[in-house]
Structure formats: structure tokens, C-alpha cells
Structure 1
Amino acid sequence: MTGKVWLVGAGPGHPDLITWAGLQALLQADVVVYDRLIPLQLLSLCRPDAELVYVGKGGYGGPGPMSQDAINALLVNKAREGKRVVRLKGGDPFVFGRGGEEAEALAAAGLDYAVIPGVTSAIAVPAYAGIPVTHRGISSSVAIVTGHESPEKDEPSVNWGRLANAADTIVVLMGAKTLPQIARELMEHGMSPLTPAAVIYMGTTAQQRTISTTLGDIAQRVAEAQIGPPSVLVVGKVVGLRPRLAWAEKLPLFGLRVVVTRARHQAEALSTLLAWEGAEPWVLPVIEVETLPCPEGLGEAFQRLKEGGYSWTVFTSANAVNVFFHHLADRGLDARALAGVKVAAVGPGTSQALASKGIKADLIPPVFTVEGLARALVASLRPGEFVLWPSAQEANPFLAQALSEVGAQVDRIVIYKVRVPENIPPELLEVLRRGEVDAVTFTSGSTVRHLAQLLGPDVHVLEKVVIACIGPATARAVLEVIGRKPQVIASQHTVAGLVEALKAYWTSTRGGDDHGRADDR
């Protein structure tokens, strides 16, 4: 069976800016052929058994670089092997991405292919710097040109003389090395040296830096700031809107690269909140949930539930909720098994998991910790009442002990355990080892222990980053395992509270040093 190739635009740099269609293609790919500057966060989403082939210049990955003819041949050969192939390219594959050449090669070979457009950096990068490429009353036309033409051409095809007067806004991609020549050409052909101009480096990412000045000064300013590729040059009056419209660099966590250590299926909520505040989340799932197939005592507990023998069922994590209901379903049961029993949840996340199963929690403590839950339950329990506690193997036994001390009969049933995932992308660990992140978040003691285990002798790298914990129990694990106190402990023990605490810390402690990463004068 012949395979198929998807030419996918990965977007301008921020992993969230890939399109939905592009993401779906990436998730099902057998082979991913990718360039330099593709976010590692996207590559980490590939299937564990997918073949990743790096063909870019420098950067990371395999032997690269590979000639365009060799890349074309690779795509053809992999498709002929019956593989689903994603050719992952920065920006849009048909905007100076040589996607047209690859499509020609596939068409000539009679192979099936599809093009999934991407968000081009020509528009997205200026937007992240607060520069709209068109604006009513200022710019009604935009020209997108390359600053790096093929060396095989006999003469340049960019007519700077015409371009200087052809569009209200000029956007130049891949022009970092030829910036002095570009600026000189535009001015020699009539463009005023006072025309507003900006260069944006690593736009849409945590490393974004922006120089905005005039066309006459832009080359010198960029050289002084030692800014190189990848960068985007914007020339035109729209650059003058930046002081009023710059938004990304004003976000409270802009420029902060944050590691999210939650299980992959739980990381989205925290990652989304971080991204909304301007951070660049790096999902490094150091735990995964393993459902125990035949938990000891679970059958008897379900029978007691059926007979109305429990006064309370207590859940201390969303994972416990999901695994518990999995076991219910395996036995042909559903939420009705909890009819007549009160249900307690340790916090909003666990309560939401229950709500998704049709159960409203009767008790959520004011302090979202196991200790807070124990205090709230002690006030509600009578001696001799039975309590069902489906838990993780690693759960702190404090809850059972505290309830037993006031005369409750606690059936703790271990229904799952957490373990280190088998397929953690090694590139993400290397990013941490190289000190290329600013903060690490922990939401449980298990995330602390597992990350330390994965880092091994390199655990000392955690001494150089901001550590943010969801609550005091997790903070104690940091002190015990890593040997230092975290800088951030959320007062509200939720992922939203964790983000708010990190915002407060970053704004007050680090914000004045590097916040904004812009070089405007």
C-alpha cells in the first residue's frame, strides 16, 4: 500500500500556533521529517514509535543538513514504503519554505499528498511585537520578500527599486545577514531613512526581542544588539504603532520558559494558563498513571457500597476518580453505585473530575490539601462510621490515620500507582540540563521524585531554576529530595493558584531584570 505525505506548516515558533489540522496530522504520522527551529514541544507529541528525521541546518537531531533533492527523495521513498509522512516546516510550507518544490516531486512520483497551511511568521511575528502589517489609514498593502535568495541565481530577483515604492509595508524574512544591504538598497531607491523599521528576533517565543527604530539606524542597532537569525524585518509606518499596540511583551510571564511535570493527560490545563500569561510551557510528563487490574479489597468495597455500608467515599485526586470509575464500569456499574453515600473531594480539580462523572461533591475543604480534607471530615464524622478511600499506592497514609483516630473505620483501597513514563523525549531533559528553562512546576511529591530520578547526577541543575509548588506537601518533597526550598508555594492549592503565585514571584523578583526582552529606544 502506498503511503501519503502531508506538507505541514508548524507556525512561527510558538508550539500553540500550529493549526488543529497540522496537529492531527502530526499525531498520526509514522515518519516526521523536520527542519531547524521546529519546537521540541511539538516533536514530543509524536507517537513514541514514530521515526523522526532531522534535515535542517545546525540545531538538533540527526546528521542534517540534507540537500533539497535528498529531502524530496526521502519523502518519496518513505511514502512508497506505505508510511504516513509529515513534512514539518516552520511557518507556512508555501511561503519561502520550498514546499512547492516538495509538492512537485511528490506529484511527479504519482504520490498522494496534502498541504496543511501554517501561520506564516511574516504576519504572526510582527503581530506578537505589536505591529499590524496593515492598518486602516496607514497601510493598505504589504509585500513579503526574502532576504536570502538562492546562490544559484545569476542575479537577484528582488527588485528593491520597485519594492521601495510598491507597498506600504515591507516584511523581509531571512534577511538578518543581509540587513545592511537591504536597508541601503531601500534608501538608495527613495525610501526615507526616517521610515520606521523593526527587527524581531525569535518572534512568538520566550526569546523574542524587538528592535524598533528607523530604516537609517536599523542595521547598526541590530549589530550592536548582536541579533542574528531567525529574525523578521518590518519597514513602514505601521512600526510606529508598536508603542501603543505591543502586548505580548507586557504579559506578566512573558519570556519565562516553564517546565510542566504533570502527567500528559493532565498537563493541558496548567500549560494553557501559563501560555495565557505569556510563558512558554514545556511539557515534561514525569509521571503516568497505571491502573491496578485487580485491587485488593475492591470487590468487597463495591459490595459494601451496594449494601449502603459506607457513610463517605473520599477522593484525593482526579486520577483516583477516573480510575475508580474505570473499575466501576468494568463491573457494569456507574455513578448510581454512590447513591446514598456522601462524597468528599480534596479540591476543585478532583471535584470537577467527579462532576464529569455526574457526581457533585458533598464536601470540599477550605484548604485544598489532604490535611485540610482530614480536618473537614473529622468535623463531619461520627465514631464507627465507615469511609471508603480509593487511593494511589504512593498516597500519604495521613488521611486514614487522622480519620481512624476519631473512631472512623477507613477502607483504603489502592487502585492505581504512578510510575515514570517509558517514552520521555530525551531532548526535553537535555533542555533542562543545559539550563535553558527558567522555572519548573511541581504538583505532587511524585513529580518531584520522578524528575530527580530522571535527572540522576544532574539533579543539581534544579538549583539554578525557580521551583514552583502547588502546595506545602509538594514543597516538603522538594526539600527532602532536592535539598532546597522552593521559591514559590501556591496559597490556593490549584493549578490556577500555582500560576498566580508564579506571576507574583516573577513580577516582584525577576520582572525588573529581564521582563520584556525588548531593546526599543
Structure 2
Amino acid sequence: MTESLELTTPADEAGPDQTIGSVTFVGSGPGGLSLLTISGARALSVADLVLVDTDSDLEEVRAMIPAHSTVEVAGVGEVARILGAVAAGQRVVRLGRGDYFSDVDSSGVLAEVLATHGLRINVIPGINRWGAALSFGGVHFGDQCAVLDAMVEVPDIERWPAADTLILRTSGALAAQLASVAAERFGADGETLRMVNMGSTAQVSELLTWREVSASEHSEVYFIVGLGIEDSLRDRYGWFEGKPLFDWRVVTPSTKDPLDALVEELSHYGASTEIVATMSIEPPRTEQAMEKAVRGLVDGRYLWLVFTSPYAVTAIAERLSEYGLDSRALSGIMLAAVGRGTVEALARLGLVPDLVPVVENTTGALANEFPAYDDLIDPLNRVLVPSADVSVEPLLVGLGKLGWEVEEVTAYRTVRAAPPAPEVRDDIKTGMFDAVAFTSATAVRNMIGIAGKPHAATVVAAIGPATAAACKMHGLRVDVVADQPTFESLAEGLAEFADRRRAEQVAAGLPPTKPSQRKRRKRRKVVEADA
């Protein structure tokens, strides 16, 4: 449901040709954008400008907005940026983590914009932290529920609310002080459900007595007291801790294909994933071929346009934009797409491909399922294939055998990416990641080239036999090979390995640990003799 607060410009104040923009405040979270509502996602899908809280949100949001849209990190001058974009007729979305009225508007941006007369303003609620605490804690409260925010200071006991269920929020440094007051209020042996890293794959929830609570290194800690936290229901609190890959750090090198689906699959099993880009996308060395191809699309030279990657979609969209055109210029052209990411990239432009491989989502499979040219019903026999500087030979040969005249054009180049940050390289080499998930042989070669080999304790998972062979060629032990060459199968295989590993540890009488929690050798100190 969208709460609409519309303060529209009066008709007599707007010129006949004036385009009136709008601003929509969208809540999400807490803890990430995965809890974005359908209404919020819909607002992003039509936005011209999106302002987000942190740099970490940029890439995730880019995948949800149209190709022409801009996403920026909000900062100083945020209100002026919003008002200027609205005055220019743009649809602006201010995306915040949480709910705008109960969580994220501490800066007063919403209030300041609301005070501006003549704006079209919408507010889409997010999931507030208090409701999320109950949900992620698995607590069904009674007739009354109250909240207490003690992030800055712990209030005196007289100011604590009374209710059947009480949710307390504080910082780790104040946790012991809050527990001291709570022990006076509820008794030192009174039980509380304590949660840290709420809503993430590293969430830990446990029942404690107030005398057991101490200061914590976590920046945010939640306590729930009262009805709904009975020990008989404690098994519900383990839905995070009980996942096979709970709190595992997984690194996966990316090439030219997006890995959002793999990240999502791994998160279902409790892992957090860090993507290391091993390939960079660059424009072609010369623009003449692409310019000629785009002119041919506009002039009706081609019957089919075949996209083999999301980057090819972006390259065509950018060239059309340079001519002042958009996706409507492709009207009447049949579209084929390889890969889920490619289909999603087309969807962001409002386009639906006419042909997507069913049996296997590869260029070779597309050639097998492509219709043959028929000179009686097909007005043209030309097919345009914008691709990387690496030829998609099986597709070209297959279409040629079907009677099509295929024109391939270099839409972008793939080059090896720069090395990741020093701390990431160090974590890879020293075994601070629990697992590495390789999705292609190219990813294996590229990651070792820019970041070095993973530590011997790191679990190595490969998406198929060819990828596993590349791992072994570079001296890596392969622990998991996916049954099918899909992200779902790769994540499932890694989860099953983790389950077996944990069962073996328990059977041996050892405490379950992650691969990164091994005992590390102490470095010998070299003592130089006195000169």
C-alpha cells in the first residue's frame, strides 16, 4: 500500500509546456534492500534519479532501474538536488534503509521536502526495525507491545514502558548498562531474547538471563522481553544459525555475466558473498562498426537482433540514446536473448525477447532452437549479433546453416580487471574466506591472476567439470562440483558439503567450526643477536 501525500502545483502556476516532476520516499530494510516492497520496486523501475544512503547500495540499485536512470549517494545538498531534479521534470526516488517515519529520516530530509509547496510527493513505507525484530526473532507478541530505543543513553527505570512484550534496542557498548537496569526491572534471572546482526546471514539469537548479558562489540543489539520468547519455542530462533552455510564468507570471481542469482542462492543457505570482478568491460577500439549497425537497426536492415549478454543490451541502448532514441526504435525487430541476466536487462528497457533457449541457456543452444529462414514468410534474412571482441562462433555457424545472413559487430571488449583491494587479496590468500565459488574456467584463471590462489583451508566449489579441471590445473583441491551447471546446483552442492563437514565434526566429538576458524600457526619471532 502506498501512502500518497500529493501537494501538486496549481494549474494556474504551471506553464502550458511545463513538465512537473515528483519525489517518492521509499523505505526498505532494515539491514539491506532485500526487504524492499513491491510498491518500492515499482517506484524504482520508473525513476529518473535515485538517491541512496551508501556506496554499497549503488550496484544493487542499478540493476533495478531503467538504463537511462541515474543513481547517486545522498549527501550534503541532498534537498537542493531533489528539488532541482523535480523542477526539471524528473521522477526522483529517495531510497532509505528502514521506514521513513520511524527509522531513516533522522536528517529531516523528508520533513524539509514536505514543507516545500507545490511538489508531487509520495511515501512508500518500509519495514520498520521493531516489526522486523519480532519477525526475525520468531516472536508472536500478546495484546500489547512496546518499544524502547536506548542507542544514545539508557533511560531511568521510571521511563521504561510497560507491556506484554517489550523490544529494546541499544548499542553494544551500552548493553551491560541496559542489562543492569533491566535486571532491576525484571529480575537478574529474568529471560530475554538477544539478537545481533539482525536480518543478515550472520544473525545470532539466543535466550539469556539479564545477569549473563555483557557489553558487545556490535553496533546494534536487540533484546525482546515478555510473551513470545518461551524456551519451548527456542527452535524457531535457529532458522539462521541452523542453515548449512550460516555466517560463511564466500568469495566468487565474476567475469562478464552478473552473479546476482548466485548471491541470492547462497544467502538462502546462510552465506554472505563477496564478488571480485576479474573482468572489465571496455568500449570497442573503434566506433564506426557500432554506429553503422545502429543505423541499420533504425533503417530496418535486420529482421533479428540477438543479444548474448547484458552488456550487449547496454551497448545498443547507449548508442540509441546518443541518437535521441530509446527502445521504441527496436519496434518490429525480432529479439533473441541468451542468459537470465540478458533477459532482465531487456526487461529494464521494457522489452521482452521473442526467443530464449529452453533446453540450455547458451549461444550454441540458441542456434539449435533458432527458426530457419523462410523466403516465403520472412521479409529479410539478416541477423545482427552485437557481442564482445571474443567471437560467438557456434551461434554464427548455426545461424548460417539455417539460411540467415549474420552480421557480428563488436559492441564491447572484455579485459582483465585491476586487482581487488589489498585487504581482499590478503583475506583470499590467508584463508579468511570460508569458500570460493567458481562459475567458469575463465573465472579461475582471472582470479588467480589478479588476486592469487585461495588458501588451502578454503573450500573450493566449481560449477562444472570444465571449471573443476581448470582449478586442478592451477593446483587447487576441488571439494564441490555442481551436479548441473546452474547457480542453484552450485549453491546446493556447497550447502550439502557444509552439512557433511559439520556432521563429521560432531561425530568426532569436535565443536562445529567454519573453514576460516582453523588454528593458525604462530609466526616464529626472529631475535637478532646483539652486535
State the TM-score, normalized to the length of structure 2. 0.60
Compared CA separation, residues 290 and 103, structure 1 to 2 (3 A): closer
2:192 is paired with a residue whose SS is strand
Question: After superposition, what is the alpha-carbon deviation per residue over 1:187-225, rounded to whole angstroms, capped at 9, x for unaligned?
Answer: 324x233332122111121332233212332x23xx3xx
Write the mapping of 1:356-375 to structure 2, written as runs, cut at 5 A.
none
Residues 103, 129 of structure 2: 8 Å contact kept: no
Q: Mark the CA change 1:434 to 1:227 in structure 2 (over 3 Å): closer, same or farther.
A: same
Of 125, 129, 144, the residue aligned with 1:121 is 129
Q: Does 1:251 align with 2:246?
A: no
Per-residue deviation, residues 302-345 of structure 1 (Å, max 9, x unmatched): xxx99xxxxxxxx9x8889999xx9xx9796759xx9xxxxxxx
Which of 224, 227, 230 pairs up with 1:234? 224
Task: State the identity %.
Answer: 24
Alignment of 1:206 onto 2:209: no
Structure 1 partner of 2:498 = 506
**1:468 and 2:461 correspond:** yes
Per the TM alignment, residue 122 of structure 1 is displaced from its structure 2 partner at its CA by 2.3
Q: Is the contact between residue 33 and residue 97 of structure 2 (CA under 8 Å) also seen in structure 1?
A: no
Aligned length: 430
1:177 correspondence with 2:195: no
CA spacing shift, 1:470–1:347, aligned 2, 3 Å: farther
Alignment of 1:188-199 (within 5 A): 188-189=184-185, 191-199=186-194
CA RMSD of aligned residues (A): 5.7
Q: How does 1:252-271 map to 2 (within 5 A)?
A: 252-259=244-251, 267-271=259-263
Partner SS state of residue 146, structure 1: strand
Structure 1 position 253, deviation (Å): 2.6
Give CA-to-partner distance per residue, 1:403-455, whole Å, 9 cap, x none.
Answer: xxxxxxxx998677774499x9x9996784463754443333344455567xx
CA distance in 1, matches of 2:182, 2:407: 74
Whichever residue aligns with residue 180 of structure 1, its letter is: A
Would the alpha carbon gap of residues 108 and 141 (structure 1) be closer, same or farther in structure 2, given more than 3 Å must change? same
Matching residue of 1:101: 108
State how far apart, in whole Å, the 1-side matches of 2:57 and 2:95 are: 11
**Displacement after TM superposition at 1:149 (Å):** 4.3
Counterpart code for 2:245: L
Which whole-Å CA distance do the structure 2 matches of 1:516 and 1:87 have between them? 40
Superposition pairs for residues 59-70 of structure 1, below 5 Å? none
Deviation (angstroms), 1:256:
2.9
Change (3 A) 1:467 1:267: same
C-alpha contact (below 8 Å) 1:4/1:79 kept by paired residues: no
* Partner deviation per Cα, 1:57-86 (whole Å, 9 max, x = no partner): xxxxxxxxxxxxxx6xx3322223226655
* CA shift in 2, pair 1:105/1:322, >3 Å: closer
Q: Which amino acid aligns with 2:51?
A: V
Looking at structure 1, the residues matched to 363 and 127 of structure 2 have their Cα atoms a distance apart, in angstroms, of 45
Q: 1:171 offset after TM fit, Å?
A: 0.9
Q: Does the 8 A contact of 1:287 with 1:450 survive in 2?
A: no
1:94: how far off? 2.2
SS in 1 for 2:108: helix
C-alpha separation in 2, matches of 1:508 and 1:21: 41
Q: Which amino acid aligns with 2:476?
A: R
Distance 1:448 1:332 in 2: 41
Query: Deviation at 1:51?
Result: 2.9
> Aligned pair in 2 of structure 1 residues 29, 360: CA closer, same or farther (>3 Å)?
closer
CA offset at residue 146 of structure 1?
Answer: 0.3
Instruction: Label 1:498 to 1:463 Cα distance change in 2 as closer, same or farther (>3 A).
Output: same
Secondary structure of the structure 2 residue equivalent to 1:182: helix
Between the aligned partners of 2:273 and 2:112, the Cα distance in structure 1 is 37
2-structure distance, mates of 1:321, 1:76: 36
Contact 1:76 1:106 in 2 (8 A): yes
SS at match of 1:179: helix
Residues 428 and 25 (structure 1), Cα distance of their counterparts in 2 relative to 1, 3 Å cut: farther
* Cα distance between partner residues in 2 of 1:360 and 1:399: 13
Q: 2:143 aligns with which of 132, 140, 144?
A: 140
Which residue of structure 2 aligns with residue 30 of structure 1?
A: 49
| Residue 264 (structure 2) aligns with | 272
Listed one character per residue, the Cα deviations across residues 94-123 of structure 1 (whole Å, up to 9, x for unaligned) are 224345833322233437343332222323
Which of residues 2, 8, 11 is equivalent to 2:29? Answer: 11
SS at match of 2:34: helix
Instruction: Report the CA distance shift for 1:437/1:17 in structure 2 as closer, same or farther (over 3 A).
Output: farther
Supply the distance in 2 between the matched residues of 1:331 and 1:243 (Cα, whole angstroms). 55
Cα distance in structure 2, aligned partners of 1:76 and 1:359: 45
Distance 1:196 1:331, change over 3 A: closer
The answer to whether the 8 A contact 2:281-2:412 is kept is: yes
How far apart are the structure 2 equivalents of 1:89 and 1:330? 35
For residues 323-402 of structure 1, the aligned pairs below 5 Å read 394=390
**Partners of 1:427 and 1:88 in 2: how far apart?**
31
Q: Quote the offset at 1:460 in angstroms.
A: 4.7
Separation in 2, partners of 1:6, 1:348: 29
Gap regions ≥5 residues in structure 2:
1-18, 294-302, 318-328, 347-351, 369-382, 398-404, 506-511, 517-531
Q: Is the alpha carbon distance of 1:349 and 1:23 closer, same or farther for their aligned partners in structure 2, counting shifts above 3 Å?
A: closer
Amino acid at match of 1:235: V
Larger relative contact order, structure 1 or 2 (CA cutoff 8 Å, min sep 6): 1
Alpha-carbon distance between aligned partners in 2 of 1:94 and 1:459, rounded to the nearest angstrom = 47
Pair 173,282 (structure 1): closer, same or farther in 2 beyond 3 Å: same
Go from structure 1 to structure 2 and tell me whether the alpha carbon gap of 1:265 and 1:360 turns closer, same or farther (over 3 Å shift).
Answer: closer
What do residues 274-325 of structure 1 show as CA deviations (whole Å, max 9, x unaligned)? 3333333456665779998589xxxxxxxxx99xxxxxxxx9x8889999xx
1:396/1:106 Cα in 2 relative to 1: closer, same or farther (>3 Å)? closer
Is the 2:312–2:412 Cα contact (8 Å) retained in structure 1? Answer: no
Q: Distance in 2 between matches of 1:439 and 1:470?
A: 13
How far 1:238 sits from its partner (Å)?
2.0
Which whole-Å deviations, capped at 9, do the CAs of 1:459-515 have from their partners, x for residues lacking one? 4568775443211223344456x6635443223222222122212223234785446
Could you say which residue in structure 2 is the equivalent of 1:52?
Answer: 73
Q: Which residue of 2 aligns with 1:312?
A: none
Aligned match of 2:437 in 413, 431, 441? Answer: 441
Matched, 1:187 2:158: no
